[in-house]
Chains A and B, each alone.
Chain A
Amino acid sequence: MNVKEFAERLDLKVLVEGDTEREITGCYIGDLLSWVMGRAPEDSAWLTVMGNINSIAVATLADVSCIVLVENAALDENARAKAEMHEVNILLSKENSYHLAVKLHELLS
């Protein structure tokens, strides 16, 4: 499943559109950036409430497919600009990480 299908099927708002054809192969949840950077698998959907500029760097370095800001967490303006520059997909969900991850799991299996 790619990022575009993921957004459509779970009714996620696309805040920044990068390469939405990118495949999602898993999911990682975390808000502590050093932790996430070291552990989030490549090509996963990263669920977080951290919408600041460092999140974009972490997403790029860990090479995740997309960032999903859960529970309508805010995206900073400078983070949005950086995400657009680096073509990082950012989605927005009103659900919490747990509920969204369960639904993502169903779609992936």
Chain B
Amino acid sequence: MSNAIHLHYEVSGEDFTRAGEASGLVKKTLKKLGYNSDAIRRVAIAMYEAEINMVIHAEGGYCDVDIYPDRVEILLADKGPGIPDVEKAMQEGYSTAPDNVRTLGFGAGMGLPNIKKYTDDMRIETTLGVGTNVYLTVVVNA
């Protein structure tokens, strides 16, 4: 579609300080464009969880966001270790995050399940030792 708005963000893997910046900016953009608050919220939550995942597991990466009138498509790509067992990772409560992450309020194994819950389509491509691409689509209901 020619009228997509394309956004690109680098996600820093250094610490948690900057996690949430990309999702915050996308949220602002969608608000400005007049998208409904339910869609905005779902996009923002899914993106933030994915950003946090990249910080915890993959030392950062990037995300590409394409905003269409009827949907928002997001690609989150990292060059992390990959996910050995995607099915397990999708289970609520399953986590491989280190303990220090838990003291910050994350690492409860809710990330991927939350992303799935808030998006209309979710696809994970992962290769051990190479990285992970997560493709998300949020359909915008008028």
Q: A residues engaging B (CB < 8 A)?
A: 31-35, 37-38, 42, 50, 52-58, 60-63, 78, 82, 86
Evaluate contact between B16 and A54: CB separation under 8 angstroms.
yes
A61 touching B45 in the complex, CB below 8 Å, given contacts A33-B105, A34-B114, A54-B104: yes
Q: Which of B6-14, B19-27, B59-67, B120-128 sits within the interface?
A: B19-27
In the complex, what's the smallest C-beta–C-beta distance from B120 to chain A, in angstroms? 16
Q: A57-B19, A58-B20 are in contact. List 13 more A-B contacts (CB 8 A).
A: A33-B105, A34-B49, A34-B105, A37-B49, A42-B37, A50-B104, A53-B16, A54-B20, A54-B106, A55-B105, A57-B23, A61-B44, A62-B45
B108–A34 touching, CB < 8 Å = yes
5 closest cross-chain pairs (CB), A and B: A57-B20, A34-B110, A33-B105, A61-B44, A50-B105
- Quick check: is B80 within 8 A (CB to CB) of the other chain? no
Interface residues of B in 91-108 (CB under 8 A from A): 104-106, 108
Say yes or no: B24 contacts A32, CB within 8 Å: no
- Taking a contact as CB atoms closer than 8 A, the residue among A37, A78, A82 that contacts B114 in the complex is A37
Number of A-B residue pairs with CB-CB distance less than 8 Å in the complex they form = 69
> Chain B residues with Cβ under 8 A from A55's Cβ?
105
Interface centre among B20, B23, B105, B114 (most CB of A within 10 A): B105
A32 with B110, Cβ < 8 A, contacts A37-B45, A52-B105 known: yes
List chain A residues, Cβ under 8 A from B45: 37-38, 61-62
Query: Is B88 at the interface (CB under 8 A from chain A)?
Result: no
Chain A contact residues: helix, strand, loop or mixed: helix
Among the listed A54, A61, A78, which residue makes an inter-chain contact with B24, where contact means beta carbons less than 8 Å apart? A61
User: Is there an interface contact between B41 and A31, defined as CB atoms closer than 8 Å?
Assistant: no
Question: Across the interface, which residues of B come within 8 angstroms of A57, CB to CB?
Answer: 19-20, 23-24, 48
CA distance A35 to B106 in the complex (A): 9
Which residues of B line the A interface, CB within 8 A? 16-17, 19-20, 23-24, 27, 37, 41, 44-45, 48-49, 52, 104-106, 108, 110-111, 114, 117-118
A78: chain B residues at CB < 8 Å are 17
CB contacts (< 8 Å) of B104 on chain A: these are: 33, 50, 52, 54
Residues of A within 8 Å of B52, CB to CB, are: 34, 54
CB distance from A56 to the nearest CB of B (A): 8
| Chain B residue at smallest Cβ distance from A32 | B108
Which residues does chain B contribute within 8 Å of A52, judged by CB atoms? 16, 104-105
